[in-house]
Structure 1
């Protein structure tokens, strides 16, 4: 991969070139020169765009890909193409496949399937066997095969002692434990946020306390055991406050928020559109305000697409029977840029890599190329033509978004839109 990037503004707080506009020469997958007025050499691909920005490659900490088992929803091959064209050079994939990824051979399979792409795949192994919250899965063996974390996607660890043992056990190999923030007994059969909107349209609600109670429990366990805990996709003001306090105590905890939980309130469900049926559910404007405050003060570490392709049989049914989930990856950057500055957006889209993979690719001479190229200018309405996934359950249809992704450069490959 030989290329010359012209006049790119660098957004990378770990780079000495942060905030400057420079040319970048790339030879054989490494940054060889960063400077001004560089001339294109023979064999170099010229990348020159108006209002071009470059950052470390973005990382998405929660992505669902159907394969193996649900290839009609999404395949690994197309899923990685979607990620690349959405600006992500790395994605952590959830274990909600068939079979569930709970053995070392499962992890090896998806890792091998992901080879040869610009975007790297990082499997999350199930925390418990078959994600049933009864017995721990083979965590150490899965880590040795490439698993970067352990969690049961959208399934809470109902047994607190199981979480305690997991946090203690994984300290022996620096493992990262994920615990989905939902107390099932309180959530019950709820379909959306419990509040004025759910009462008005007659749908069963999931109270905010169903999340915050679980978060409080998990943080108490973490304080007792030590270890590394990640709480994925929080959605309530109370959760932000609890995690803020835990970080002030020095606990090793991180958390993420899904982009749609920052962008939409529960009023999006007034017409019973199942594209907005997600878990955790869309909450209130007060919750969104608290989440954004948590982003600004560093309580919330990362934003994820929580991308979850689902086939038509799972979404175009009665609201009560529809599955939770939406595809959001194609819209993540454009939606986030409507809420925060480009510097904060890049920070939120790159923080996950170090937490999950302990790697970083600062934009410096002789560093391996791992770049996302984008612009902050312009706006557009997200439509069917912007959907790249096999499944079409996109909650952002009709949303007004900002900026655009040009593509990525990673793993000796260039993917441009």
Structure 2
């Protein structure tokens, strides 16, 4: 298979061709030639798109597919096809299935199910057995089977000593531990950000303090143990400040932000639409601005969709009864590109997550494996339900104005384009 990508602006700071418009010739999955103009031949598959831009393949570090156990929400097959058409050449899949991915066989099952697709699947295994937070899972065995990190999805580790021991143990094999930032006793039964809007709407609040206390605890533990720690999906002003200060002290801490926390606020809750019920909750405009600033400054290392499909039976309920979560693969790029400039966030979906999760770097350079996302950063549109490719339709971005169109990917010797 020979593919010729025509007149593409290359966005890749590691490439000699960064910010240049070039033709790219790919043969059997390898970038063979990059030139101003490459003549077309009959046997070539030609890719020509309006205002075409390409970057190294996007990597989403927090994706949930239902399989195994919740296939009605999303199968691995459909999920990886959605990811490809959303611009992602790799996704890290959370352990929140049934059964939980907490052993070697379960990790191998996920990897086997993900084989052969354009988008590469990487398992995040559970940190504790059955994600119950009581005893550590078999981390080393799961890493040897292909797990790239360990975390109990959306479940904080209450036991301080267990978290300490996990960080210490993971250092023996350079494992990456994730700690979800939520103090359950402070958050209690809250379902929305504690503030003016939750008070007006009569919704039980989750204080920003619940997140910040847990992060402070984890940073103290990390300072004691050494090693490295990743804090997924932060959402408050002070969380950004805490991590900024920890990095200044030299701690090996990284963090991510979910696209909905980066772009939406708790003002959305006035319609009591359960698609806006997320964990952590949507917070204030000040939090959004701090998170955006954190991305620009590099304090926040990763932007994730935190894609979490929920079937209609568990989502289309009263706000207090509905499950947390929104899908986000299809809307991540366009939503972030609506509030930040491309140069301010491209590393947070390409090189930075790969480095943090221990994956090989990619580059749009001659002789390198083609791992490329294709997009137009300037097309404005309104995201509507027909734009959703996922099986579940629980998107917080329906009817939101967007900027940027994803064309598809070239990865794993496969060209996947949106129709």
TM-score by length of 1: 0.99
The corresponding residue for 2:15 is 15
Counterparts of 1:1-400 in structure 2 under 5 Å? 1-350=1-350, 351-400=352-401
Contact (CA 8 Å) 1:333, 1:345: kept in 2 or not?
no
Contact (CA 8 Å) 1:90, 1:353: kept in 2 or not?
no
Report the 3-state secondary structure (helix = DSSP H, G, I; strand = E; otherwise coil) of the residue aligned with 2:203. coil
**Residue 60 of structure 1, CA deviation:** 0.3
**Residue 40 of structure 1, CA deviation:** 1.5
Contact (CA 8 Å) 2:148, 2:357: kept in 1 or not?
yes
Q: Structure 1: 5+ residue runs without aligned partners?
A: none
Report the 3-state secondary structure (helix = DSSP H, G, I; strand = E; otherwise coil) of the residue aligned with 1:330. coil
4+ runs deviating over 4 angstroms: none
> How big is each residue's C-alpha offset from its partner over 1:349-388, in whole Å with a ceiling of 9 and x where there is no partner?
1121221133111111110010000001221110111000
Contact (CA 8 Å) 2:295, 2:345: kept in 1 or not?
no
Single out whichever of 101-110 and 32-41 deviates more from structure 2.
Answer: 32-41
Report the 3-state secondary structure (helix = DSSP H, G, I; strand = E; otherwise coil) of the residue aligned with 2:137. coil
Report the 3-state secondary structure (helix = DSSP H, G, I; strand = E; otherwise coil) of the residue aligned with 1:156. coil
CA RMSD of aligned residues (A): 0.8
Report the 3-state secondary structure (helix = DSSP H, G, I; strand = E; otherwise coil) of the residue aligned with 1:246. helix
Contact (CA 8 Å) 1:11, 1:55: kept in 2 or not?
yes
Count of aligned pairs: 417
Report the 3-state secondary structure (helix = DSSP H, G, I; strand = E; otherwise coil) of the residue aligned with 2:330. helix
* Distance in structure 2 (CA, Å) of the matches to 1:385 and 1:344: 29
Q: Structure 2: 5+ residue runs without aligned partners?
A: none
The corresponding residue for 1:412 is 413
Contact (CA 8 Å) 1:87, 1:406: kept in 2 or not?
yes
TM-score by length of 2: 0.98
> How big is each residue's C-alpha offset from its partner over 1:316-342, in whole Å with a ceiling of 9 and x where there is no partner?
111111100011110100001011112
Contact (CA 8 Å) 2:330, 2:389: kept in 1 or not?
yes
> How big is each residue's C-alpha offset from its partner over 1:127-181, in whole Å with a ceiling of 9 and x where there is no partner?
0001111000000000001000000000001111111101111111110000000
Report the 3-state secondary structure (helix = DSSP H, G, I; strand = E; otherwise coil) of the residue aligned with 1:214. helix
Report the 3-state secondary structure (helix = DSSP H, G, I; strand = E; otherwise coil) of the residue aligned with 2:247. helix
* Distance in structure 2 (CA, Å) of the matches to 1:272 and 1:49: 40
Report the 3-state secondary structure (helix = DSSP H, G, I; strand = E; otherwise coil) of the residue aligned with 1:79. helix
* Distance in structure 2 (CA, Å) of the matches to 1:13 and 1:105: 39
